[in-house]
Chain A
Amino acid sequence: MREPDSSFPDADEHDLIEGFARVVAVEGGRVWLEPEQTSSCGACSSVGLCSIGKDALTARKLAARRFPLPGDLGLRVGERVVVGVRDDSLVKGAMTAYGVPLLTILAGGIAGQELGHGDAMAALGAFSGLVIGLIVARVLANHLSARGVLSPRFLRRAFDPPSDAECHTDHG
């Protein structure tokens, strides 16, 4: 079978955060993947074997985190692959999802405190700031998603670990 090329055209220019995923469906020219690295000890490449990794999320939650990859990559259901996102995607995502609402909460709270000189107005201002921040975050996230900044990309096939492999987490 043809080995699919990496779908990361600018992979050389950016460091990548890599993760393991398994192909769970191929529908309409799209490949659906389920991420494997789900636990706090995400650095171990044998995470698929580890009981911590398996118990971290229920099947329902894992199913909710499935994501598609566009294009014909020649992958089959059950295959284990390595996917990646650019290292600045996480920072951009965190700043958008959490940073923007936190800033508007603070701005709204301070504005409420200055205008109303009381806790009730400060709380009202902060919660209004939260709502505004979430709306702004959604707009920014849609913009980033449309540009494909946040989407994981296929990098390469991963080998299944042997059945007698052990999980080693004793890295410095």
Chain B
Amino acid sequence: MQHYLLLIISAALVSNVVLMRFLGLCSFMGVTTRVDTALGMGASTTFCITISAMIDWGVDKFLLEPYDLGYLRTVAFILVIAAAVQFTEAVVRKVSPTMFQLLGIYLPLITTNCAVLGVNLLLVEGKMNFIESTVFALASSLGYSLVMVLFAGLRERLALCQVPRLFAGPPIGFITASLLALAFMGFSGMSTN
């Protein structure tokens, strides 16, 4: 149990996918102008990353590794991610059409989110078993969602502040993001991946 706890802390905080590995920065800057959009994007991405990590683990273990097709890994993973996004879209629509109105708009953005591919490639690098892969993917994506919501909250407050004209908009956003990354560096040393 301690092993899984350390894995979760490591993936979500110490090696945060956005602020430490610098993945998924386009959605980090683009969808964090409001907390509700950040929350919707974070939840959708969490689901897609976990589903695609489960499938990618099987693809790598039973197809790419045995037949020495490692050079096709990136292409195969992108295909799996696109399929996972389509699957998620179909599932949400089937579960509840009204829920699809609320959450469906974030799904097309996930296909091009490099954090999804990045987490899947990190799983292969880490040579984890199935349950470790699933826990790592879930924790990484929860870390992504946490940072998205934190940053959106900060940007909502910044929108009400008197920011000097030269810093208004994306510049103050980047400065805030760098301060947030420095704060997350405080978790370094708690656990290593």
Contacts and interface: CB of A to CB of B under 8 A. Distances in A.
Contacts of A67: 97-98, 101
A170 B169 contact: yes
A113 interface: yes
B46 interface: yes
Nearest to A96: B99
Interface string B72-110: 000000000000000000011011111111111100110
Interface residues of A, number: 51
Interface in A74-94: 85, 87, 89-91, 93-94
Given A43-B37, A123-B54, A172 B108 contact: no
A113 B131 contact: yes
Contact of B96 (A85, A122, A138): A138
A14 to B, nearest CB: 13
B51 to A, nearest CB: 8
Main secondary structure of the interface of A (DSSP, over half): helix
A145 B104 contact: no
Interface stretch (B10-18, B115-123, B157-165, B184-192): B157-165
Given A43-B33, A91-B39, 7 more contacts: A42-B31, A43-B34, A56-B108, A106-B134, A150-B102, A170-B170, A171-B33
7 contacts: A40-B109, A65-B104, A90-B103, A106-B138, A119-B130, A138-B94, A171-B33
Interface of A: 17, 35, 37-38, 40-43, 56-57, 65, 67, 85, 87, 89-91, 93-99, 101-102, 105-106, 109-110, 113, 119, 122-123, 126-127, 130, 134, 137-138, 141-142, 144-145, 150-152, 169-172
Interface of B: 27, 30-31, 33-34, 36-37, 39-40, 43-44, 46-47, 50-51, 54, 57-58, 61, 91-92, 94-105, 108-109, 129-131, 134-135, 138, 155, 158-159, 161, 163, 168-170, 172-173
